[in-house]
Amino acid sequence: MLNVLACKTNKIAYWLRLIYQLVAHSNDRDILYKIQLFFFYNKGAIIYTNYNKYVYYRISKFKDIIDVVIVHFSRYPLQFTKL
């Protein structure tokens, strides 16, 4: 996910924020906790939505996305077949 945010100090400036995010139903939250442990416990956060229907695992630090997530998926690309 890529957020485009307006700068509060300069009316014509914007900044970008890169976010790696996985979403799961609240019944499957244990999977997200296991993924968080795999990527090191201090990388990212588990976020619950209103009414606890969905759970998000989100990494928003650019350095963590570059050094951990992108490196992992470069070494081990996702392989799947379209149904």
Distance of CA 71 to the CA centre of its chain: 15
Residue 71: what pLDDT?
Answer: 92
pLDDT at 83: 56
Do the beta carbons of residue 21 and residue 35 sit within 8 Å?
no
Which segments of the chain have a pLDDT < 50? none
pLDDT of res. 78: 78
Residue 42 is encoded by which pair of tokens?
Answer: 């201090």
0.85 surpassed by pTM: no
pLDDT value at residue 50: 77
Domains and CATH numbers, the chain: 19-75 (3.10.28.10)
Q: Are residues 69 and 59 in contact, defined by beta-carbon separation less than 8 angstroms?
A: yes
